[in-house]
Amino acid sequence: MGTLRDLQYALQEKIEELRQRDTLIDELELELDQKDELIQKLQNELDKYRSVIRPATQQVHKQSVLQEQQRTKRQAISAEPTAFDIHDLNHVTLPFYPKSPQRSDLIASIEAEHLKSCWRTSGFVPISASVAVIEAKGQQKF
């Protein structure tokens, strides 16, 4: 065992360590209190902003809903007659314009390219349609 003086010295060191720890604990508690105050302040500001933003966003949402409801309907143009019955068109004859074989080939190839373009964009190529294109090129009815 140590002497009384050694024990007193060790006791003094432990007391000093405890004081340092108490000082550190006090500093950390102070920092914690400051951060709690900052959190409370920021929470109050957030609540204030939310109270302003909620009514504003609700008003904007209501306005957008009203605008969608009040949106004017647009007119569409169709090549098909809507006012006529199909039976009324039975007596109508369309004029025939004779075409040279070169012009018929040109029309058939343009139609085929158009169909290919449509199929490429849609990703769908029906077998019957490809047969129809081949037949259209061969018949030259145009």
Same domain, 117 and 54: no
Q: Identify the pLDDT of residue 122.
A: 73
Digitized pLDDT (tens) for each residue of the chain, 142 residues in all: 579 899 999 999 999 999 999 999 999 999 999 999 999 999 999 998 888 888 777 777 777 766 666 666 666 666 665 666 677 777 778 888 888 999 989 999 999 888 888 777 776 655 555 555 555 555 544 4
On whether residue 60 sits in a domain, the answer given is: yes
90 DSSP assignment: T
The helix-helix angle for 127-139 and 101-122 (nearest 10°) equals 170
- Do 65 and 22 lie in one domain? The reply is yes
- Residue 50 in domain: yes
**Does residue 114 sit in the same domain as residue 62?**
no
pTM for the complete prediction? Answer: 0.36
Per-residue pLDDT at 43: 95
Rg of the chain over Cα atoms, rounded to whole angstroms, equals 44
- Answer yes or no: do 66 and 102 share one domain: no
Identify the domain boundary among 70, 89, 106: 70
Structural domain ending residue among the three candidates 70, 89, 112? 70
Looking at the structure of the chain, the number of domains it has is: 2
Domain region containing 114 = 98-139
